[in-house]
Amino acid sequence: MRVGVLTGGGDCPGLNAVIRAVVRKGIEVHGWEFVGFRNGWQGPISGESRPLGLADVEDILTRGGTILRSSRTNPYQVEGGVEKIRKVLEDQGVDALIAIGGEDTLGVAKRLTDDGIGVVGVPKTIDNDLGATDYTFGFDTAVSIATEAIDRLHTTAESHHRALVVEVMGRHAGWIALHSGLAGGASVILVPERQFSVDQVVEWVERRFEKEFAPIIVVAEGALPEGGEERLLTGEKDAFGHVRLGGIGTWLADEIASRTGKESRAVVLGHVQRGGTPTAYDRVLATRFGLHAVDAVADGDFGAMVALKGTEIVRVKLSEATAELKTVPVERYEEAEVFFG
């Protein structure tokens, strides 16, 4: 059997660990051949690929990013995209695909399976917002990076007695903001799932100043003030209809400064959260996902995605995994509010 592997969407710590696990188990246990398609779904559309052998994955466990590179290509937005994929797979003798990605990449995988192309999915996103799995790899690394940044910002905020607003990733789900904010001892955490009152934020900030402490506000990029709109870096949309968000941190810092008279600054962590070496947890989870993805291919269980349920790796349908985003429940956010201010 010859199996194709691709990574789509945003880069994420742990992608290379999945590739390594897939290739090692596929070769050493089943004797399969592997081909890596470059640049996400663009690879099987254009035929751009590279062989993947044991030597190619030997030293990639700790590397961030992806050796196959990535893109946000959507085959269903490319004229004849699906038929091009079908022909490339036939020409290169590829019998099955393992697609590693988030909601968009796996949404394509689900549609391709419906169209008769055998695909197994592996869940990847630092946002941890993919349905049907308790955690995705990359999330732990992103939270660790954001938490370290918040730890460092506490010292400079206290030194200058100013408010610092930390903008983290999270378009529709505030998992990174919630976990890093709690772990970093933030004074306020703002998530996309719940619109926030600027007046309430200012009250929490002033309460913090009254206690002679400097407030740290953690805000997800998709968080919305009551009656407000998303802050856009650009109005352009990608192949999956997403606009680029950003700027809520700077806007909020300006609001806090004007309403309190206290100096307030914004720090945007951006792509720092998704780069660099994956944590030990993400390396292990990514490796387990890769091993079980090979089992799914061996069983011919196409249209499945490997998922984490508790401590076990299970299989779920791609249709279930991509049906809706996993967002922060109201009760999880409300239990954190006891620490605000």
Query: Amino acid letter at 90?
Result: E
169 annotated ligand binder? yes
31 annotated ligand binder? no
194 annotated ligand binder? no
What is the C-alpha to C-alpha distance for residues 133 and 140, in angstroms, rounded to an integer? 14
Element housing 319 (H / E): helix 318-321
Residues 167/176, Cβ–Cβ less than 8 Å: no
Catalytic residue among 56, 104, 127, 299: 127
Phi, psi of 81 (to 5 degrees): -60, -45
Q: Dihedral, CA atoms, 165, 168, 172, 177, nearest 10 degrees?
A: -80
127 annotated ligand binder? yes
1 annotated ligand binder? no
Tell me which residue of 264, 60, 297 sits closest to 162, measured CA to CA: 264
241 annotated ligand binder? no
127 catalytically annotated: yes
What is the C-alpha to C-alpha distance for residues 149 and 266, in angstroms, rounded to an integer? 13
Phi, psi of 172 (to 5 degrees): -120, -10
Cross-strand pairs, 119: 97
Residues 108/75, Cβ–Cβ less than 8 Å: yes
> If you search the block for the tokens 């967002």, which residue do you land on?
327
42 annotated ligand binder? no
Element housing 289 (H / E): helix 280-298
273 annotated ligand binder? yes
290 annotated ligand binder? no
> If you search the block for the tokens 């490796």, which residue do you land on?
287
50 annotated ligand binder? no
Tell me which residue of 117, 107, 138 sits closest to 18, measured CA to CA: 138
195 annotated ligand binder? no
63 annotated ligand binder? no
Name the residues annotated as catalytic: 127
**Which residues fall in the annotated binding site for Mg(2+)?**
103
**Which residues fall in the annotated binding site?**
10, 103, 125-127, 162, 169-171, 221, 265, 271-274
**Which residues fall in the annotated binding site for substrate?**
125-127, 162, 169-171, 221, 265, 271-274
**Which residues fall in the annotated binding site for diphosphate?**
10
